[in-house]
């Protein structure tokens, strides 16, 4: 991992298209400004991981899913 | 072409039935081609079957019967990526996490699948809102 020190209003560039700027530092909180092409998705990591986990869980569909579905129909 | 599906055996499909997900899905980046299949007697529920991986299939459903005022704001970036020109291009699905019993299943409304049904391009869009949950009960009051 590359570690860089930056001050407020300083930036780093990632490749040609991405710029990350330190907008503010308030105690333990850092505000970042990010310029990136529209095709690049930017998310808080914990949210991305949450979606990844949910997709994993959804992919582990019970083998008897069709049966569960038809049971559900009979119940309702 | 022929594909082997998880729930419906071998199917003969046309290339133009395939929906392309250029970025895959979070956790499944390599999976970029899917088939949206109706289920016999599936009601609300459909299956999103990977073209490449027989064992990978998601149950999906339209969010609206589950949450009638559900709304998704498609920003310019998504519209561009999915080549969306008009509202009629768009179909929205939530991925369902199936539980036993089925009534305990949940639907992911925080990261819906946005599909341009005319161009057959899709993307799982993570919404910038805390209004919707990854585990929304499919049956109200039965969380």
Q: Helix count (H) and strand count (E) of chain A?
A: 2, 3
Residue A12 sits in which domain range? 7-40
The reply to whether A63 touches chain B by the CB within 8 Å rule is: no
| Same-domain status, A48 and A74 | yes
- Which residues from A are below 8 Å from B124, CB to CB? 51, 55
B96–A69 C-beta distance less than 8 A: no
Measured CA to CA, the distance from residue A67 to residue A71 in angstroms comes to 6
| Same-domain status, A35 and A51 | no
Domains and CATH numbers, chain B: 2-137 (2.30.290.10)
| Same-domain status, A29 and A57 | no
**DSSP annotation string for B10-38:** EEE--GGGPEE-TT-BTTBTT--EEEEEE
In a mutagenesis test of the B interface, which of A38, A39, A61 is the best target, namely the one with the most B β-carbons within 10 Å? Answer: A61
The reply to whether A45 touches chain B by the CB within 8 Å rule is: no
pLDDT tens for the 76 residues of chain A, in order? 999 999 999 999 999 999 999 999 999 999 999 999 988 889 999 999 999 999 999 999 877 888 888 777 766 5
Tokens of B128: 């910038």
The reply to whether B130 touches chain A by the CB within 8 Å rule is: no
Measured CA to CA, the distance from residue A5 to residue B115 in angstroms comes to 42
The pTM (predicted TM-score) of the whole model is: 0.90
The answer to whether position A2 is within a domain reads no
Task: Determine the distance in angstroms separating the CA of B97 from the nearest CA of chain A, rounded to an integer.
Answer: 4
pLDDT tens for the 143 residues of chain B, in order? 999 998 888 999 999 999 999 999 999 999 999 999 988 777 889 999 999 999 999 999 999 999 999 999 998 889 999 999 999 999 999 999 999 888 899 999 999 999 999 999 999 999 988 999 999 999 875 44
Phi (first) and psi of residue B12, to 5 degrees: -95, 115
Q: How far is CA B63 from CA A23, B34, B71, in A?
A: 37, 19, 9
Which among A38, A48, A51 has CB closest to B76?
A38
| Same-domain status, A69 and A53 | yes
The answer to whether position A1 is within a domain reads no
Assembly ipTM: 0.91
Q: What is the pLDDT of residues A22-43, one digit of tens each?
A: 999 999 999 999 999 988 889 9
SS3 A76: coil
């Amino acid at each position: 991992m590359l570690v860089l020190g930056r001050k407020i209003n300083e930036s780093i560039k990632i490749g040609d298209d991405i710029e990350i700027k330190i907008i503010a530092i308030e105690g333990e909180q850092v505000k970042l400004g990010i310029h990136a092409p529209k095709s690049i998705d930017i998310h808080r990591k914990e949210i991305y991981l949450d979606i990844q986990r949910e997709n994993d869980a959804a992919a582990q569909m019970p083998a008897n899913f069709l049966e569960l579905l038809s049971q559900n129909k009979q119940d309702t | 072409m022929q594909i082997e599906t998880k729930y419906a055996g071998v199917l003969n499909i046309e290339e133009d039935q395939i929906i392309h997900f250029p970025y895959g899905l979070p956790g499944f980046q390599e999976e970029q081609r899917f088939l949206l299949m109706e289920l016999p007697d599936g009601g609300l529920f459909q299956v999103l079957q990977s073209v490449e991986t027989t064992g990978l299939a998601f149950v999906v459903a339209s969010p609206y019967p589950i949450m009638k005022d559900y709304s998704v704001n498609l920003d310019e970036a998504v519209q561009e990526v999915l080549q969306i020109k008009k509202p009629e291009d768009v179909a929205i699905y939530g991925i369902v996490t199936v539980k036993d019993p089925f009534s305990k299943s949940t639907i992911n409304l925080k990261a819906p699948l946005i599909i341009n049904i005319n161009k057959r391009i899709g993307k799982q869009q993570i919404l910038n809102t805390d209004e919707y949950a990854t585990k929304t009960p499919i049956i109200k009051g039965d969380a």
